[in-house]
Amino acid sequence: MRFLTTVATALAGSVTALKVLEHDKLAIIGLQNVAKDVAKNGYPSPGTYEKLNYIDAIKCIHKKPALTPSAIASGAKSRYDDFIVTHVLQTWSVHATANFLPWHRYYLFAYEQLLRTECGLKGYLPYYNWAWWHEAPDKSPLYDGSETSIGSGGTYVPGRNYTCVPNEVKSGCPIHLPPGVGGGCITGPLANWTLNLGPLLTMLPGVKPNPQEDGLGYNPRCISRDLSKEAAYETRDEMVTSLITGYNDMLSFQNRMQGDFPNKFFGVHTAGHFTIGGDAGTDFFNSPSDPGFFFHHGMIDRVWWIWQNQDLEKRRNQLGGTITFNDNPPSRNGTLEDVLTLGSILEGEFPNITNGDAMSTIGGPFCYVYDDA
């Protein structure tokens, strides 16, 4: 995400309606020159610094002590875990509900802000464009294991069984996903990153169960992943494009995005999770425990944003769905007035907002657009 400057660029076209001073005209010409120069020569800094700074910032937030009291989550050891705890505690009320996309938008925003204010992040929260890398997610710059990646796709563990999508516990394993390229602990910059919480939903082979039933006890272990081409195939360009163009109301858009498991359809949200594998893929309570989560959900937020922007008048303020997970038990439709909370620990810095506040990325607490550069 690139903020402000891009918004200004995007809005420059409409400035003509206002009084334009002579030097403003020079500024507009200057901006066009910058755009041409970027098109020809790229950005002056190749991005390595930005990537290393991002990795430093997430390592920093993972070292800072948690503010979550142990009475709430005895396994929460880091400031990063504060984010996982709020996701775990709210899982049933922020997925397959009307507030799914607005809540996750606010969640990503808060994460980025905290990385900036507490851990020196200088750039922005990047997104992982699944469609670009669907043929070989393990070759993507995000997961190639290099020093500017967030680690590899996991050390290969042979002889594994398929994984159940979306899970085997509640849904009876409608989709069988073959083993991916990893299965074990990741290598690279986050090789020593400790997951403290979970798992909750799934039992990955070799993973110790959490000592507490709510998954919030202390259970230190590595990040494991299992990058999957088969899952990534479900996020190829065609899937993203048909989602944006083929589903005109929010409910059908969101349902399609989240998958249709009885019909063996992943949806890009589920497919993106299972592309990563490990906790990020298979445990939808504890999925933010892998920093890859935030790159995947950045893309989810981007796809919603692209969808909204195709017809702002009709789409920007649409919500779809109710206030219970898959409307079970049946409940009322969500509304723009419904409150989004990041929970008691984060609420001091990120006060409750409403769905309505989160419908535009240049309104409410936000000021960003997605830049493809």
State the residues that interact with ligand NAG by CB under 6 A.
Answer: 161, 189, 191-192, 251, 320, 333, 339, 341, 347, 352
Q: Are 329 and 263 in contact (CB under 8 A)?
A: no
Closest contact distance (angstroms) between CB of 171 and ligand NAG is 13
Closest contact distance (angstroms) between CB of 238 and ligand NAG is 26
Closest contact distance (angstroms) between CB of 265 and ligand NAG is 20
The span from the first CA to the last CA of the chain, in angstroms, equals: 10
State which residue, 9 or 194, has the beta carbon closest to ligand NAG: 194
d(CA 253, CA 239): 12
Closest contact distance (angstroms) between CB of 99 and ligand NAG is 11
Closest contact distance (angstroms) between CB of 288 and ligand NAG is 19
The pair of structure tokens assigned to 134 is 């669907």
Q: Are 262 and 326 in contact (CB under 8 A)?
A: no
State which residue, 70 or 192, has the beta carbon closest to ligand NAG: 192
State which residue, 317 or 341, has the beta carbon closest to ligand NAG: 341
* Nearest of 119, 228, 137 to residue 180 by alpha carbon: 228
Residue 134 identity: H
* Nearest of 90, 122, 119, 123 to residue 106 by alpha carbon: 90
Integer CA distances (angstroms), 190 to 59, 147, 291, 342, in order: 8, 9, 9, 26
Instruction: Please state the separation of Cα 365 from the chain's center in Å.
Output: 18
State which residue, 32 or 171, has the beta carbon closest to ligand NAG: 171
Q: What is the largest CA-CA distance in the chain?
A: 70
Q: Name the H helices within the chain.
A: 5-12, 22-41, 48-63, 79-94, 100-119, 229-233, 237-246, 250-258, 267-276, 278-282, 292-309, 312-315
State which residue, 67 or 251, has the beta carbon closest to ligand NAG: 251
Query: Phi and psi at residue 112, in whole multiples of 5°?
Result: -60, -45
* Nearest of 83, 138, 103 to residue 276 by alpha carbon: 138
State which residue, 235 or 355, has the beta carbon closest to ligand NAG: 355
State which residue, 113 or 331, has the beta carbon closest to ligand NAG: 331
Closest contact distance (angstroms) between CB of 13 and ligand NAG is 34
- DSSP code of 262? G
* Nearest of 255, 245, 197, 193 to residue 55 by alpha carbon: 193
State which residue, 185 or 299, has the beta carbon closest to ligand NAG: 185
Closest contact distance (angstroms) between CB of 286 and ligand NAG is 21
State which residue, 25 or 264, has the beta carbon closest to ligand NAG: 264
Closest contact distance (angstroms) between CB of 370 and ligand NAG is 26
